[in-house]
Amino acid sequence: MTNNIKVERAKKNITQAELAKLINVSRQTINAMELGKYVPSTVLALRLAHVFEVEVSDIFALEESDWT
């Protein structure tokens, strides 16, 4: 799964720590998501979408390997 969390953070001009506080996770969780090492739960993905004021599909996309 790919994501645009870093891009969306840049648009809002917020740090990993600020985003983490907004969605009630650690900064390390944000970092892991940005690096593709952690796939968030549906609830967490919806929180991110709410903060960024976009659809979940604007942040996350499946890769071909996710289908096999």
Residuewise pLDDT in 10s, the chain (68 residues): 999 999 999 999 999 999 999 999 999 999 999 999 999 999 999 999 999 999 999 999 998 888 87
Q: pTM to 2 decimals?
A: 0.91
DSSP 8-state assignment for residue 57: H
Q: Where are the alpha helices (DSSP H) in the chain?
A: 5-12, 16-23, 27-34, 42-52, 56-59
Nearest to 9 by CA among 32, 37, 34: 34
- 64 φ/ψ sector (left φ>0, alpha ψ -120 to 50, else beta): alpha
Question: CATH code for 2-53?
Answer: 1.10.260.40
